[in-house]
Amino acid sequence: QTLEGRDLTSLAKYIKSSDCGKVILMLGAGVSTSAGIPDFRSPETGLYSNLARLNLPHPEAVFEINFFRRNPVPFYTLAHELYPGRFRPTITHSFIRLLAEKELLHTCFTQNIDTLERRAGVPEDKIIEAHGSFATQRCIECNASYDDEKMKDHIFRKQIAKCNKCGGYVKPDIVFFGEDLPLNFKLAVPHLRTADLLIVMGTSLTVHPFASLAQMVDKTCPRVLINLDHVGDFGARTDDVILLGKCDDVVRMLCKELGWEEELLALWNE
Ligand code: OAD
């Protein structure tokens, strides 16, 4: 057993040991809630429980490609609220950068479309935006790409952007339900088998295929869950560490244990 205590102290000891060279992260909306961005499924505060005003058949429809084709208005309304630029990265995002600076971060798989990992200074080649982002956009009918500035303008004015070529609706390259995940996601998946540590933060682990990544690490690779709720099959493996709480609080305690707290705060205050 690698992580005897299955707690913060044994985790910090393992991270500092020579056995731990390749850390892989899986992130969800819970790492950005302290930045002011709602998650999806938390009761009361989550996006899905606050979409009644958009008159959707069911909340997830806002991210369904067939629904968007019929009615893009709800998505554009939401995009206006979620558009990156208005939010500052969190302590947890700075922790990810710190892992990269310590040359421990191998890959940061994120479901988030807020681009806060990049904005916190995590190297782009370490980030896999599994559900895409607002960085680029295209026509859902003919796939023609659409100008970044024009798109921004449309989202700010809550106006539906239409393709210059065929008139089809334009959608940011966010992966909707019913769409394939990006190629770089598929190419990065095999690296999980060789990870020395998996840290899962701020996700309900309900959306597949992303959620299934947590099962792909080797049986000998310790897995850590940092989340408000106990999710997935954490606890099923001997070396699973479950740290329930707010990501920022747990990450800060972990950095204290590692002797990295000052560096963490310096990065966050940059
Ligand atoms: P969810 O809203 O499903 O889950 C967020 C998880 O984070 C929940 O377990 C919360 O309890 C937890 N959480 C919230 N705030 C937290 C905090 N400060 N510290 C620790 N934990 C916290 O969000 P995701 O799992 O990211 O897909 O959702 C997955 C996908 O479903 C999203 O990428 C999105 C959505 O439909 C698309 O848009 C394609």
Round to whole Å and give the CA distance between 202 and 246: 8
pLDDT tens digits, residue range 150-207? Answer: 999 999 999 999 999 999 999 999 999 989 999 999 999 999 999 999 999 999 999 9
Question: Could you tell me if 233 and 205 are in contact, meaning their C-beta atoms sit under 8 angstroms apart?
Answer: no
Q: Is the CB of 68 under 6 A from ligand 1?
A: no
Q: Which pLDDT does position 135 carry in this prediction?
A: 87
For the purposes of burial, counting CB atoms within 10 Å of the CB of 149, is it exposed (0-12), middle (13-18) or buried (19 or more)?
A: exposed
DSSP-based three-state secondary structure for 143: coil
The alpha carbons of the chain give a radius of gyration, in whole angstroms, of: 19
pTM: 0.95
What's the rounded mean pLDDT across residues 29-44?
95
Q: Is the CB of 225 under 6 A from ligand 1?
A: no
Q: Is the CB of 202 under 6 A from ligand 1?
A: yes
Spatial neighbors of 42 by CB under 8 A, at least 6 apart, are 33, 49, 228
pLDDT tens digits, residue range 69-128? Answer: 999 999 999 998 888 878 999 999 999 999 999 999 999 999 999 999 999 999 999 999
Tokens of 195: 């990870």
Q: Which pLDDT does position 115 carry in this prediction?
A: 92
Q: Which pLDDT does position 64 carry in this prediction?
A: 95
Q: Cα separations (Å) of 177 from 98, 131, 162, 181, 252?
A: 33, 10, 21, 10, 34
Report the nearest-CA residue for atom 15 of ligand 1: 30
Report the nearest-CA residue for atom 25 of ligand 1: 203
Which of 243, 193, 254 is closest to 221 using CA atoms? Answer: 193
Q: Is the CB of 59 under 6 A from ligand 1?
A: no
The answer on pLDDT for 1 being more than 90 is: no
Q: Which pLDDT does position 86 carry in this prediction?
A: 80
Specify the higher pLDDT residue, 98 or 55: 98
Tokens of 224: 């850590």
Q: How confident is the model at residue 2 (pLDDT cuts 50, 70, 90)?
A: low
- 75 alpha carbon – ligand 1 mean position (Å): 18
Q: Is the CB of 92 under 6 A from ligand 1?
A: no
From the list 131, 154, 208, 230, the catalytic residue is: 131
Pocket test for ligand 1, best of 206, 212, 228 (most atoms within 8 A of CB): 228
Closest ligand 1 atom number to CA of residue 231: 9
What's the rounded mean pLDDT across residues 57-69?
94
Q: Is the CB of 228 under 6 A from ligand 1?
A: yes
- Respond yes or no: is residue 93 known to be catalytic: no
Q: Which pLDDT does position 51 carry in this prediction?
A: 86
Pocket test for ligand 1, best of 176, 206, 207 (most atoms within 8 A of CB): 207
The answer on pLDDT for 129 being more than 60 is: yes
Q: Which pLDDT does position 211 carry in this prediction?
A: 98
The answer on pLDDT for 240 being more than 80 is: yes
Pocket test for ligand 1, best of 58, 82, 93, 111 (most atoms within 8 A of CB): 111
Q: Residue with structure tokens 């992966």?
A: 175
